[in-house]
Amino acid sequence: MDEQGPDLGAIADAIAGDRDALRSVWRSHRRWVAAILLAHKSRQTDLDDLLQSVAVQLCKKIHDVREPEAFRGWLRMVAINAARADGRTVSRKRQGFLRLVGRSSERDEAPAPEHTARAEEAARLMSLAMSLPEGYREPLLMRCVKGMSYRQIGDAMELPETTIETRIARGRRMLRELASGEEKQKTPAPAAAGSV
């Protein structure tokens, strides 16, 4: 999605059945959809499965959108419903997968995750962000989509721009406090004076 927002003409064409326009609209919105899914999905559910589910719903139901201006709010609800439906079947399937690791020559197939300190911190912060209340988590993650303005986030969430700005600001403070709390828990308490 560019800074000017989606092309309402393209959205209107997509609603009218123009497949090239629909493809273009999807490509300009799929990262944004991913942010919404990320904010609402369970940890075990695969993002790509949910994205495919939303893509199918977009093709099937876009004709239901009455006017282009309502498209983003509609697409957000499609994404939220997909995330909440949870893909439990998919998760159960994945949990059933077994990864085989052979002997000797197949050894290089064994997964060996390596985490740098930065990557670990990134994972920790993402985890903390996911623990924020939903009303703060979603706009904070949407803000991470490159070029997405407060106004565009507000349009999608059907909230005033000023509310979005305040929620993002509060969300960032909550994140700082959560991270700071974790750090304090990690740091061992100093020994009491005079103790042996």
Partner 1 sequence: MDNRDPHAEPHAGATRPDPGTPDGRDVLISRVIDAEASPEDWSAFRALAESDPTVWRDLGEAQRQNEVLGEAFRDEIRVADSVELPELIADDGPFQRRLDSIGRWGGWAAAAAILLVWTTGLPLGSNQRASLIPMGTALSDATPDEAMERYIEAGQRAGRVVGEVPDRLVIETIPQADGSIEVVYLRQIIERRVTDQVFRESKTDSGATVPVRIPASDIQRRRSF
Residue with smaller CB distance to partner 1, 27 or 66: 27
Cα–Cα distance between 141 and 122 in angstroms, integer?
Answer: 14
- 6 near 29, Cβ under 8 Å? yes
**Is 157 among the residues that bind partner 1 (CB under 8 A)?**
no
Q: How far is the CB of 127 from partner 1 (least distance, A)?
A: 4
Could you tell me the end-to-end alpha-carbon distance of the chain, in angstroms, rounded to an integer?
A: 62
- For partner 1, the binding residue among 18, 73, 74, 165 (CB under 8 A) is 165
Q: Which residues are CB-contacts of 88 (< 8 A; sequence separation ≥ 6)? A: none
- For partner 1, the binding residue among 15, 21, 22, 80 (CB under 8 A) is 22
**Is 151 among the residues that bind partner 1 (CB under 8 A)?**
yes
**Is 123 among the residues that bind partner 1 (CB under 8 A)?**
yes
- 38 near 74, Cβ under 8 Å? no
Q: What binding mask, one character per residue, do residues 45-74 give for partner 1 by CB under 8 A, x or -?
A: --xxxxxxx-xx-xxx--------------
- For partner 1, the binding residue among 10, 21, 75, 164 (CB under 8 A) is 164
- For partner 1, the binding residue among 2, 101, 133, 181 (CB under 8 A) is 101
Binders of partner 1 among residues 77 to 96 (CB under 8 A) are: 82, 87, 89-90, 93-96
Q: How far is the CB of 188 from partner 1 (least distance, A)?
A: 21
Cα–Cα distance between 56 and 158 in angstroms, integer?
Answer: 24
Cα–Cα distance between 39 and 157 in angstroms, integer?
Answer: 13
**Is 16 among the residues that bind partner 1 (CB under 8 A)?**
no
- Among 59, 151, 56, 46, CA closest to 93: 46
